[in-house]
Structure 1
Amino acid sequence: MVNRSTNSNILSSASRFRVRKFSPSAITLYTLFIFAFSIFLFFFYLRNLILVQDQDSPTLPSFSLQSRSHQVPELHVYDKQLWDSPFSHGLRSCVKPTSKYKGAQGFDRYLTVRSNGGLNQMRTGISDMVAVAYIMNATLVIPQLDKRSFWQDTSVFSDIFDELHFIESLRGDIRVVKELPKNLEAVPRARKHFTSWSSVGYYREMTSLWNEYQVIHVAKSDSRLANNDLPLDIQRLRCRAMYRALQFSPPIENLGKDYHILHF
């Protein structure tokens, strides 16, 4: 015989734990509320992040000719603000040479370069050629920029980059001159297409060319040096050339600053 009162009590207890069903309209309102709250949190944290960056962001150094004497201190201040920033995520600058590093001394040997490709490709190639000039113990003549492959314009190095800053920044690494000495303009040159992605050992072998020539002309600058398995100081020299020596010319720097002020 079934005890009906007992069954009734069991059903009553089970009904207490029955999952409550929401109507479709309630579910829609709940979803919209969660979505709106998420959007609010996103913009709130984004606003705080922008404010912190504005407070911590450094003033870019000016490389105008009028402020040459303050150029290096400003650059050090900018580096410190950049790498000590809480947003650096523990990364550090890679441009400082080691204690064993010594600059090149071969001032009577000259390396001329024709940089090819787009602007970024030329910048990378020029930084490679700075390292190659160091390895081969040579003086680097200011590179010629590609005027035919892509750009079809007449821009020279000084139109795009700060030429004096480039020369001065690399003074402790290699000697850089604006042009060949007059007495070497007509001498025979070794014209080389250096093998792409070459190691330091390859360029040390190429120093045998100095036995016959005083000037070596490099027809292309892109991808001339390997990316891996290079001595630490060679890699850091490439970084110095790319991120410190190759600054844009003052008119381009000023144009960028004016654009930033107008639009931000």
Structure 2
Amino acid sequence: MANPRPSSHRLLRSRLLHPPSISCYVLVLLAFSAFIFLYSQRQITVVDRNPSDESFEDLKEQLWGSASGYGYRPCVKRTQKYAATQKWNRYLTVRSNGGLNQMRTGICDMVAVARLMNATLVIPQLDKRSFWQDTSTFSDIFDESHFIKSLEGDVHIVHELPKELESAPRARKHFSSWSGASYYEEMSQLWKDYQVIHVPKSDSRLANNDLPIDIQRLRCRAMYHALRFSNPIERLGKGLSLHDADTTEASGAAQVTWPIYCSSSAF
């Protein structure tokens, strides 16, 4: 004798007693996460490959040629009197201090100091103990190879001290803030007794002094051209900027041109 078909009430009760396995929910969640990750990676790749239909020169002209620019232009080019750099066998080591912005300014100061003192600059160490409280190294934050290459016509920069000088005696010097070029020319007398000078703090604040025009322009080149963020930070910033631009456009507001506001190399 055939069994009677279960009623709809019994089927519903049976399904409620045997819910889908939790693994099904986990699989669905993982699939959704993988989709989001792959979509984000694709968007970042698109940004890196084709950031804008406009050329970099066009973007610069928009920035400096706008009415808000008041006729100002970038002042980073070397004058005709500027001499090429030399590879000096004496080294300036630096420990930067303060927050990230203060360290960036201090590093630019030390680039200028190395030029004034005819020294080879060792890649600065970032603050890890006082204000910054971060384990990141210079290469974690900035594009180290780009920094060295961008300034190769100004200052000879190396990744680290030569092995034979790691244990050599060195002068430890806190440079006086707000000092002019003559002060650093005087400090160059230290090379008579030492091959390495260590600077425990980088905030010498050269900006408001009567420095030679080429030294001031060197500081600008270091700040706006050489100190470019590392590739992972650049990619993250571009991805976030693309997301913000899409969100802004979707809300009906004016879309921001991301290369000017996001990329540190846009200026």
CA contact (8 A) 1:199 1:226 kept: no
SS of residue paired to 1:208: helix
Partner residue in 2 for 1:198: 179
Contact residue 196 and residue 226 of structure 1 kept, 8 A? no
Secondary structure of the 1:145 match is: coil
**1:166–1:247 CA contact under 8 A, matched in 2:** yes
For residues 122-150 of structure 1, give each alpha carbon's deviation from its aligned partner in whole angstroms, at most 9, with x where no partner exists: 00000000000000011100000000112
Name the CA shift for 1:251/1:147 in 2 (closer, same or farther; >3 Å): same
Unaligned regions of 5+ residues in structure 2, if any? 1-47, 50-54, 246-267
The answer as to whether partners of 1:124 and 1:242 remain within 8 angstroms in 2 is yes
Alpha-carbon displacement from aligned partner over 1:162-202 (angstroms, at most 9, x marks no partner): 10110000000011110001111110001101111111000
Match of 1:209 among 190, 207, 210: 190
Equivalent of 2:72 in 56, 72, 91? 91
Deviation at 1:87, TM superposition (A): 4.2
Pair 1:232-2:232 in alignment: no
Aligned letter for 2:65? Answer: D
Determine whether 1:162 maps to 2:149: no
| Residue 114 of structure 2 corresponds to residue 141 of structure 1 | no
Is 2:91 aligned against 1:110?
Answer: yes
Structure 2 counterpart of 1:27 = none
Whole-angstrom CA distance in 2 between matches of 1:173 and 1:154: 29
Q: Distance in 2 between matches of 1:232 and 1:128?
A: 14
Percent of aligned pairs sharing the same letter: 69
Q: Contact conserved, 1:104 with 1:138, CA < 8 A, in 2?
A: no
Give ranges in structure 1 of 5+ residues lacking alignment: 1-63, 67-73
TM-score of the superposition, structure 2-length normalised?
0.68
TM-score (norm 1): 0.69
Counterpart in 1 of 2:158? 177
Aligned equivalents of 1:185, 1:96: Cα separation in 2:
36
Pairing of 1:214-225 with structure 2 (within 5 A): 214-225=195-206
Change (3 A) 1:77 1:136: farther
SS state of the match for residue 112, structure 1?
A: strand
Task: Tell me the distance in 1 between the aligned counterparts of 2:73 and 2:194.
Answer: 41
Distance 1:234 1:214 in 2: 23
Larger radius of gyration: 1
Task: Kindly provide the amino acid, as one letter, of the partner of residue 139 in structure 2.
Answer: S
Shift in Å, 1:256:
0.8
User: Match of 2:236, as an amino acid?
Assistant: L
1:126 aligns with 2:107: yes
Instruction: Please tell me whether the aligned partners of residues 147 and 227 of structure 2 are also in contact (alpha carbons under 8 angstroms).
Output: yes
Native 8 Å contact 1:121 1:222 kept in 2: yes
**Hey, what's the Cα distance between the residues in 1 that align with 2:117 and 2:61?**
33
Change (3 A) 1:200 1:106: farther
CA contact (8 A) 1:195 1:224 kept: no
Number of residue pairs matched? 193
What's the RMSD between the two structures over aligned residues?
Answer: 1.9
Report if the CA contact (8 A) 1:133-1:174 is conserved: yes
What is aligned with 2:259?
Answer: none
Cα 1:166–1:75 shift into 2, 3 Å: farther
Select which of 201, 225, 231 maps to 1:244.
225
Shift of 1:216: 0.5
Q: Which whole-Å CA distance do the structure 2 matches of 1:210 and 1:104 have between them?
A: 18
Which residue does 2:134 correspond to in 1? 153
Letter in 2 for 1:131: A
Which amino acid in 2 is paired with 1:96? K
